[in-house]
Structure 1
């Protein structure tokens, strides 16, 4: 029997490629970079075989991944925007942040694209940088896999990649989404105060 294993996602390559654009980040340590109270909640996203990246600039706090081998091997990539007051099961938090990408095509040409299902979705639809990226890059499968949802103590931006260069390709879009999340949470009273 022939066993094929998915290669570990090369975070070092991602870090080097992001560094070319002056984006600061490094390999993270689960026990020293994640506050103890968040570890049980972030373990699912950051303590997988590939490890995670600690972002030192931009609006994303952590980037983790998980290899998936159904329907062809790929990596789920998890970008976390930490917030001590977010609760996954809270319907108000879901209605605030959970956003799904929609699009329509005719003969391979984008007719429309945007976000639905939340207050954040409205904010993302009004961000011209995000809209421009979607219309220019919707043919990329990586772009079409992006979604946003609340998890305990964070907002999760998820996408699917096959190679490190694909993450770098969508990084600016992901970071713009994270910035909109932070702006929205900063404008609203979700808890006592908003901490990253």
Structure 2
């Protein structure tokens, strides 16, 4: 192999040129973030602040899931696809002992592939197909979330109090349009109108929070 499988540029023996290697590395980093935003899009947009859409025990015939998104982009399939690529790369690199990799999520498998990227572009015959399939998955997701993917919005610091009366204080952020937020440190969920009011009320008055109504 002396030419890039995607553009035909000379590569000194690698399967991809430097430009496409950089693109693949970036795509492996972005895929989990984009599909995380797809998950938020499953709750229909257009609901004002305080109008939380129930995802459990919803009454009536209306589904709380945006089925158009579900039909267009299947994030479970994305995780399965990247897992298969990880399994195959591992089998090619260590054929003498290649048990399936331990269970991981989409982010874990993309991170593993990114860590092995130097070996992949030097030795893995399926590199071009890996690039194309990762690009297709990202393109499908971006039809839902837009391009570039929305940036997290800082809301302030978590006001949840533990059993010892200690305030959590971890930074709380959300993606645009997200109406339910879980603190990544203490796992407290902000989802009702009262939750949002408490979060806003107990922020430091001189803080720089960018809190806004959803």
TM score, norm. by length of structure 1: 0.30
Structure with the higher fraction of residues in helix conformation: 2
Q: Greater Rg, structure 1 or structure 2?
A: 2
TM score, norm. by length of structure 2: 0.29
Structure with the higher fraction of residues in strand conformation: 1
